[in-house]
Amino acid sequence: MPELPEVETVMRGLSPVWLGERFTRVTLHRGDLRRPFPDGLGQRLTGAIVTGCRRRAKYGLVDTDRGDTMILHLGMSGRMRVDPDEIGKHDHVVFETGNGRVVAFNDARRFGSLDLVATADVDAHPLLAGIGPEPLGPDFGAAMLAVAFKGRLAPAKALLLDQRIVAGLGNIYVCEALFKAGIHPARAGGTVPAIKLKRLAEAVPAVLMDAISAGGSSLRDHAAPDGTLGYFQKTFCVYGREGEACPKCGTTIARIVQSGRSSFFCPKDQR
C-alpha cells in the first residue's frame, strides 16, 4: 500500500495538472471501488475548479471552488495516470480539464476509494478523524513521541504505525527510521530512552524527505502521475534486506514478523 512519500509524490504530480483548472467532464466507468462512489460524484465535480491538491496522512485531498473536497485513497494498486495514450479497463474514473488534460484513476485490484465531502468537514470525516500529527509538520517531535510512548508496552514499531499517534507512516519507512534511530522494532515503547526518542524524531522526517525526493518507493505498482517510477528502494538500509550486511556495521540484517508484517533490523545496532 502506498505510504506517505508515495501519496505526496502523486499529489505533487497532480498539482500542476489540476490546480486552478476546471473539471469539464468526470466519467465513472463503474459504480464503486472498495466501496460505492458518493451519489452524483461525477455531476458534483463536473464544472468545479480545483483550488487545492494536498495530502493528509495516506490520503490525497483535492479541494474545489464549490466547497467540496475529494478524498482519494490509492489502495493497494491505485495509480493516477496523466494523459494516458488510451483508456484501459482498469481506468475506472477519468477526469478531463479545461486545459485539455486527462487524468485516469487506474486501480486493478479495486482497493482504492474516492469520497466527496464538504471541505469544512474534512477533518471530521471518519477516514481522517482522530489521525495524529503529520510527521513533516510542526507538531511532530521528541516531546510528542515521549508522551505517546510513555508507559507503553506495545512495540515501538506498532506505536509508529498507529495512525492515531503519527499520520501516514507505513511499514517501509518505520523500519528505516527505527534503524537510523538505533531502536529495535520489538522494544517496548515505554522503555525507549529520551536520547533515542530524539534520534527517532529526527530520523522519521529525514527518511520521509529522502523518499519524497526520490519519488517514493516503487516495489509493485507505485508510479508518479507522469509514469516515473520512484527509486528510494535502491537506498533501503534494512527493509527487504534480510541476510544482507548492515550498512553501518556489517552484521547480518534480520527479519521478524510483527502483527503479520515483516520487520527488518540490525541485531547489533538496534536495541
User: What CATH number should be reported for the domain holding residue 97?
Assistant: 3.20.190.10
Mean pLDDT of 175-187: 98
3-class DSSP state for residue 179? helix
115 lies in the same domain as 149: no
pLDDT band at 76 (very low <50, low <70, confident <90, very high): confident
Alpha carbon distance 78, 80 (integer Å):
7
99 lies in the same domain as 160: no
**Phi-psi map region of 46: left, alpha, beta (phi>0 left; psi -120 to 50 alpha):** beta
Residue 50 φ/ψ, nearest 5 degrees = -80, 125
3-class DSSP state for residue 39? coil
- Paired with 73 in beta bridges are 113
Does 62 map to a domain? Answer: yes
Residue 228 is predicted with a pLDDT of 78
Least confidently predicted of 90-104, 216-230, 235-249 = 216-230
Residue 224 pLDDT > 70: no
Does 271 map to a domain? Answer: no
Residue 225 is predicted with a pLDDT of 75
Alpha carbon distance 234, 101 (integer Å):
32
Residue 248 pLDDT > 90: yes
> Which residues are catalytic, by number?
2-3, 58, 261
Does 132 map to a domain? Answer: no
User: Which grid coordinates are listed for 43?
Assistant: 455531476
Mean pLDDT of 155-171: 97
pLDDT, averaged across the chain: 95
Give percent above pLDDT 70 in the chain: 97
Q: What angle do CA 93, 97, 103 make, to 5 degrees?
A: 40
SS3 content of the chain, % helix, strand, coil (to 5): 30, 25, 45
Residue 217 is predicted with a pLDDT of 81
Alpha carbon distance 47, 42 (integer Å):
10
**Structural domains in the chain (count):** 2
Name the pTM for this structure: 0.93
Could you tell me which of 104, 19, 112 has the C-alpha nearest to residue 65? 19
110 lies in the same domain as 151: no
Does 76 map to a domain? Answer: yes
- Give the residue numbers spanning the domain of 154: 142-265
Does 243 map to a domain? Answer: yes
92 lies in the same domain as 151: no
CA 92 to chain centre: 21
Mean pLDDT of 160-168: 97
Alpha carbon distance 134, 269 (integer Å):
27
User: Which grid coordinates are listed for 93?
Assistant: 474514473
Q: What is the pLDDT of residues 116-149, one digit of tens each?
A: 999 999 999 999 999 999 999 999 999 999 999 9
CB 186 within 8 A of CB 256: yes
* Residue 83: its H or E element: none
